[in-house]
Structure 1
Amino acid sequence: MTLSGFVQAETFSLWARSDDSEFMPKLVDAFNAKSKDKVELQLVPTNEVVQKYAIAAAGGSAPDALSLDLIYTPAFSQAGQLKDLTKFAKSLPYYDKLSKAHLSAGTYDGKIYGMPFSGDASVLVWNKDLFKKAGLDPNKPPKNWAEIRADAKAVSALGPNTYGYYFSGNCGGCNIFTFMPLVWASGGQLLTDGGKKVTVDTPQMKAAIRFYQGMVLDHLVPDGSKTDSGSNFFAAFAGNNIGISPAGSFAIGALNNQYPNLDYGVTYIPGENGGTSSFAGGDNIIVSAGTSNKKMSAIESFIKFAYSLEGQKILAKNGSLPVRSDIAKQALKGLDPRYQIAAKAMAEGRTPYTPLFNDLINSTNGPWITMLNRAFFAKNKNEVTKAIHVAQSKMQSIVDNAN
């Protein structure tokens, strides 16, 4: 008996953020049940995973692979801590059907270091019962800012403690996810030149901020929005007294499970005069630079399984949008049809590219949320202009100092 040609099974370590706890263990279990190779999964608290991985990578104890919030892929790519996946990625026959936003965030200096893994998208949700009570067509979502405002005004007129619109006014991450698509759909940008040029001070950004400011001044938004740092990002709409709110595709499953009697619709986030956009979120899968070539074959097998129809179905059934557009409809078949809207939104969505995402956007005292909170709740238009000028200067300074 000869062992020539025998390929030894490999086991590799995989970290994932706790936000992935609904789908990642199920995907890993399904892979381990049918593959000679095995995955050892460790779920890490979401707010700790970036720092923990950075420390592990610097100390030589990083996991073989990591499912990472795609916005952080550029930072680890730039730091030289990831393995080049370009050859493998482009060898896949469905490479051009993988989420372009994920691949864009995963590409650094022309090479792919992060591949699409799980998907999320920002959308607009509206309360159909409140629309009916307000005399609006419950099956006709707003398709531009004027329609959002008109619908919000009609719902707010229903009486005390009922509001037309809601957003988390003191949450940087929430607003990059749900406010920025208003700007993108209107032709504006946040960053250009590979993240080296900040483009906050634009007519589109100013118009979008004044759109929100106008709804605040007209009391179409509850007062609690100003101090909400994200805790009510989803919960406010679920309270059944909000007409319209931007949200994520994750809200579909959460609303269906926790609030089965809430009659709501899902639509695209529109631009000022039409058009649509979305923030394409979710995770990229990355491989640590020090991972051995032996482990790579097992990791590649796992990625291929995740991309298979079986893998995409497991993800879809457990809260993640498919990241392969060519089989998205099949993966979502039999599920709530509102997921199809979210999947299309993600396929056409964007993700800001910058290795400085935390400093620029996510920081609780950073220039992005400082600008928005000051401007959204300002009493006059001049304050909006000042807030934008300050943010443009501070954000560009952060970028320049890092280069």
Structure 2
Amino acid sequence: MSHNRLIGGLLLATVALPAPVMAETFSLWVRADGSNFMPQIVEAFNAQSEHSAELQIVPTAELVQKYAIASAGGSAPDALSLDLIYTPAFGAAGQLRDLTEFAQDLDYFDSLSPAHLSVGTVEDRIYGLPFSADSSVLIWNKDLYREAGLDPDVAPTTWAEIREHAEAIDALGEETYGFYFSGACGGCNIFTFMPMVWASGGELFSSDGSEARFDSPQMREGVEFYRAMVEDGLVPAGSQTDGGINFFAAFANGNIGITPSGAFAIGALNTQYPDLDYGVSYLPGKDGAWSSFAGGDNFVVSAATDDDKMPAIEAFIEFAYSLEGQRLLAAGGALPVRSDIAEEALEGLDPRYILAADAMTNGRTPFSPVFNDLINSANGPWITTLNRAFYGTADEVGETLAQGEAEMQSIIDDAN
């Protein structure tokens, strides 16, 4: 607000300055999976900002329930880094703050991970912003490729090539297998199997999550691709009961030729198995297209967070999106979520991360407010259906997928 003052016969105009922004401290939660990078980002932000974040690391398996209880009881943190698949549920329940205007005002908004934003958006309002990322990729053992007479620098780009390469590697001996996947792990298979179906033109849900599309020609072909490799002994028998404990470990042992995995495997293999020679490529569809699951976290703000905290929270988000923040993220093993500076953020790191980051450009994340019940639950229709189909007979696949789709749709309808 401006006003005029008369001083010494001169009329002077003065302008009232805006009130200074007060330094604020906000509470921030992150699941333990983010403990490799979040403490470093918080420390760097606190060192250079007038504001500060107070970090609490929560065990990964406990965060979602703990946050739900805290939100209901009025003790939620001001902000948290949330597994992106849960954003639709908390956003639809009114437990998250609308960040639409802030997000769309960011100069680099269009370069933020579209998959993260797709599940961070509920009824055209943005409740979750991309924070950390992990893409799904295909990895292969180059030493086994050499032993099998395959070119160690050429990845399979179709299902037929995966099968061909797996057969050649499997022929090396009884203790060597061509392919591996965790057959009883819902999260593992949505992360690595579903992108191969997406790349072949299939879907799992409608875009708004209201319809299950489990039983499709593309899904049937994908299931049959895996099922046939299991039946022909190209996959170890133990995969049938693997709930995820060997999702990474099986390949790391050195006797698996090919496996779908995640970008996280690059850092883990380099650190824990430095002598393992491996390649990283895209997850292919049946005929050569490729896709990826976009995993990681969205940054969300609790609906009850005081307005006074928002300048500090917004400053933290912008720091995390800066080149310094994205480099800290990458150094901690997560992929950048800004495509326009991804290569700069990854500079000096293993070059295989570049492909993994590029996979995010074609990454997808299924939108469902009941994702946990459908996909992550050990007794949910996703993994129980796939397990029956992967390890059953060819003539049972169609009926099994149709039953699984009906179970999925029932859960979706009951939630609406």
Shorter-chain TM-score above 0.5 = yes
Which secondary structure state, in structure 2, belongs to the residue aligned with residue 274 of structure 1?
Answer: coil
AA matched with 1:336:
D
Answering whether residue 110 of structure 2 is matched by residue 102 of structure 1, we say: no
Amino acid at match of 2:319: F
Answer whether contact 2:140 2:280 (CA < 8 A) is retained: yes
Q: How far apart are 1:3 and its partner, in Å? A: 10
Match of 2:293 among 265, 276, 279: 279
How far is the alpha carbon of 1:281 from its aligned partner? Answer: 0.4
Q: Partner residue of 1:262? A: 276
1:219 pairs with one of 224, 233, 243:
233
Q: 1:119 aligns with which of 119, 127, 133?
A: 133
Tell me the secondary structure at the aligned position of residue 182 of structure 1: helix
Which of 251, 254, 259 matches 1:237?
251
- Give the residue type in structure 2 aligned to 1:259: Y
Q: SS at the partner of 2:410?
A: helix
Equivalent residue runs for 1:2-401 within 5 Å: 5-378=19-392, 380-401=393-414
Q: Give the gaps of 5 or more residues in structure 2.
A: 1-15
CA distance in 2, matches of 1:4, 1:208: 60
Q: Compute the displacement of 1:6 (Å).
A: 3.0
AA aligned to 1:90 is: Q
Alignment-mate amino acid for residue 77 of structure 2: P
What letter is aligned with 1:250? F
Q: C-alpha distance in 1, partners of 2:21/2:223?
A: 58
* Secondary structure of the corresponding residue to residue 289 of structure 2: strand
CA distance in 2 between counterparts of 1:364 and 1:86 reads 35
Q: CA deviation at 1:400?
A: 1.0
**Mapped partners of 1:195, 1:208: distance in 2:** 21
The 1:4/1:390 distance shift into structure 2, 3 A limit, reads: closer
The separation in 2 between residues aligned to 1:299 and 1:185, in whole angstroms, is 37
Determine the C-alpha separation between the residues in 2 that align with 1:386 and 1:226: 20
Tell me the amino acid that sits aligned with residue 346 of structure 2. L
Unaligned runs of 5+ in 1: none
Secondary structure of residue in 1 paired with 2:373: helix
Contact 2:212–2:408 (8 Å) recurs in 1:
yes
Separation (CA, whole Å) in 1 of partners of 2:95 and 2:20: 32
Task: Please give the per-residue CA displacement for 1:236-290, whole angstroms capped at 9, x wherever unaligned.
Answer: 0000000000001000000000000000000000000110000000000000001
Supply the distance in 1 between the matched residues of 2:37 and 2:119 (Cα, whole angstroms): 22
Please state whether the residue corresponding to 2:229 is helix, strand or coil. helix
| Deviations, residues 320-370 of structure 1 (Å, cap 9, x unaligned) | 100000000000011100000000111210000000001100000110001
Instruction: Give distance in 2, aligned partners of 1:221 and 1:150.
Output: 13
Partners of 1:256 and 1:34 lie apart in 2 by 32
Distance (whole Å) between structure 2 residues aligned to residue 282 and residue 4 of structure 1: 39
SS at match of 2:304: coil
AA matched with 1:392? E
Q: CA deviation at 1:4?
A: 7.2
Contact 2:136 2:356 in 1 (8 A): yes
User: Partners of 2:20 and 2:363 in 1: how far apart?
Assistant: 44
- Which secondary structure does the structure 2 equivalent of 1:103 belong to? helix
Alpha-carbon contact 2:207-2:367 (below 8 Å) kept: no
Question: What's 2:8 paired with?
Answer: none
CA distance in 2, matches of 1:388, 1:348: 26
Deviations along 1:100-126, whole A, 9 cap, x unmatched? 000001000110000000010000000
Whole-Å Cα distance in 2 between the matches of residues 7 and 297 of structure 1? 8
Q: How many residues align?
A: 401
The C-alpha deviation readout for 1:185-217, integer Å capped at 9, x for no partner, is 000000004000111110000000000001001
Q: The residue matched to 2:403 in structure 1 has which SS?
A: helix
Q: Distance in 1 between matches of 2:380 and 2:200?
A: 25
Counterpart residue type for residue 399 of structure 1: I
Name the SS for the 1:311 alignment partner.
Answer: helix
Q: Secondary structure at the match of 2:369?
A: coil
What RMSD, in angstroms, separates the aligned Cα atoms of the two structures?
1.0
SS in 1 for 2:333: coil
Query: TM-score, normalising length from structure 1?
Result: 0.98
The Cα offsets for residues 276-305 of structure 1, whole Å up to 9 and x where unpaired, read as 000000000000001011101100000000
CA 1:257/1:101 → structure 2, altered by over 3 Å: closer, same or farther? same
Q: Percent sequence identity over matched residues? A: 65
- 2:24 and 2:64 map into 1 onto residues whose CA distance is 26
TM (norm. structure 2) is 0.95
